[in-house]
Amino acid sequence: MAIDHLDGALLELLAEEPRIGVLEASRRLGVARGTVQARLDRLQSNGVIRGFGPDVDPAALGYPVTAFATLEIKQGQGNDVRAHLTTVPEVLELHTTTGHGDMLCRLVARSNADLQRVIDRVVGFDGIVRASTAIVMENPVPLRIVPLVKQASAD
Amino acid sequence: MAIDHLDGALLELLAEEPRIGVLEASRRLGVARGTVQARLDRLQSNGVIRGFGPDVDPAALGYPVTAFATLEIKQGQGNDVRAHLTTVPEVLELHTTTGHGDMLCRLVARSNADLQRVIDRVVGFDGIVRASTAIVMENPVPLRIVPLVKQASAD
DNA sequence: GAAAATTCTGGGCATTATGCATAGCGAAAA
DNA sequence: TTTTCGCTATGCATAATGCCCAGAATTTTC
């Protein structure tokens, strides 16, 4: 579970040029192919690398509006609300957080008008008491992992 | 930019089994290899597929605590705050949102105690007036894209 | 409705990568 | 010291890739 330097370098390399193969990676890192193979296998069975799924941009799919909604949930309704939100495709992510039985979810929509429809669908459910929405205007730091990997492998 | 059925099926397939190649994908989808190749190229130059970066789990890296922080920013300090937050590896993501010059960022930390250190570092900057943090307890819906792809390709 | 343009097909071929196996070597642990 | 473990280096059969092409099918344009 500890990440050493080579693991870190491999992760950074894969993050920057994901389509390179094991052989090419071994050349770039200056180690043997089998080593890269073994490290990759270990990182995957460790769960450090969950997968290599395509990184899909919702905006390019026609959903350029992103918002975060904080939901206040009725006591004991958590499971129902979870199940309900799972059925809404525009809910990309859902977290339960500390606080007043709250949840935080990431939404996308086709337009600001469409966002209203999405929110109506999200909150049109009995267990949800109140919702407050923050629309994303800019995304100065897109989801990133390399700095954290560098930090983690610097031990 | 419009996503048709084949694009949708290809994206779903890649999302579920990312390591399959073009040839295998063409077999699964029942189309010619060149077709899959062309669709993939188009999806990538369209920006629908940003890349195939490894999906790294911060928890497996030793950062099991996730939190969302809402930051209130002094007028005109936006750029400075952005630059500051970019230098913090534990800031995985940063958005500016509607509201009172607010920002929302996703943080990770090694423990609850470590989260305090991260938050101190985040808010220890002049342009930030106030911060409120919500610690993530559960993640009932991890970041997902397949339902949205299905929706988008159903036209 | 006819012509043009685009997309998909199916095949071939040289190059390259993969999966798997093996053996030697050095460093760290028992 | 002996054992264990990870890295190196190599070989080989199989499979995938990149690139080419000509013809069929579909969609778009006029």
Residue-level pLDDT at A154: 85
- Helix, strand, coil share of chain A (percent; to 5): 45, 30, 30
The tokens 């995985």 sit on which residue? B92
Instruction: Rounding to the nearest 10 degrees, give the CA dihedral for residues A95, B62, A54, A113.
Output: 30
Q: CB–CB of A58/A110 below 8 Å? A: no
User: Nearest C-alpha of chain B: how many angstroms from A115?
Assistant: 14
Residue-level pLDDT at B1: 62
Widest distance between CA atoms in chain A = 59
Q: Which fold has domain B56-133?
A: Alpha-Beta Plaits (3.30.70)
Chain C nucleotides near the protein (CB, 7 A): 7-11, 16-22
Domains B3-52 and B56-133 share a fold: no
* pTM metric for this prediction: 0.89
Partner-chain contact A15 B53, CB within 8 Å: yes
Q: Which residues of A touch B149 (CB under 8 A)?
A: 56, 61
Q: In terms of DSSP H, where are the helices of B30-89?
A: 33-46, 78-86
Residue-level pLDDT at A114: 96
Residue-level pLDDT at A60: 94
pLDDT (tens digit per residue) in B52-62: 989 999 999 99
User: Phi first, then psi: what are they for B47, rounded to 5°?
Assistant: 90, 0
Domain ranges across chain A: 3-52, 56-133
pLDDT (tens digit per residue) in A69-90: 999 999 888 899 999 999 999 9
Q: CB–CB of B48/A57 below 8 Å? A: yes
User: Nearest C-alpha of chain B: how many angstroms from A119?
Assistant: 15
Residue type, A10: L
Q: Please state which architecture CATH assigns to domain A3-52.
A: Orthogonal Bundle (1.10)
Q: Which residues of B touch A92 (CB under 8 A)?
A: 141, 143-145, 148
Partner-chain contact B141 A93, CB within 8 Å: yes
Please give the protein residue whose CA is closest to the C1' of the nucleotide D20: B34
Q: Which residues of A touch B152 (CB under 8 A)?
A: 61-63
Closest chain A residue to B16 measured between Cα atoms?
A: A53
pLDDT (tens digit per residue) in B122-154: 999 989 999 999 999 999 999 999 999 999 998
Kindly tell me if the per-residue pLDDT of B155 is higher than 80.
Answer: no
Q: What is the mean pLDDT of chain B?
A: 93
Beta strand residue intervals within B5-142, DSSP E: 49-51, 55-56, 65-73, 91-97, 102-109, 128-141
| First-to-final CA distance of chain A | 12
Residue-level pLDDT at A1: 63
Kindly tell me if the per-residue pLDDT of A64 is higher than 70.
Answer: yes
User: Nearest C-alpha of chain B: how many angstroms from A11?
Assistant: 7
pLDDT (tens digit per residue) in A112-139: 999 999 999 999 998 899 999 999 999 9
Count of A-B CB contacts under 8 Å:
216
Partner-chain contact A150 B19, CB within 8 Å: no
pLDDT (tens digit per residue) in A137-153: 999 999 999 999 999 99
Q: Which residues of A touch B62 (CB under 8 A)?
A: 1-3, 152
Residue-level pLDDT at A101: 76
Q: Which residues pair with A141 in a beta bridge?
A: B94
Q: Which residues pair with A136 in a beta bridge?
A: B97
Task: Tell me if residue A71 falls in helix, strand or coil.
Answer: strand
Mutate to test the interface with B, among A13, A41, A56 (most CBs of B within 10 A): A56
User: Phi first, then psi: what are they for A44, rounded to 5°?
Assistant: -75, -40
Residue type, B4: D
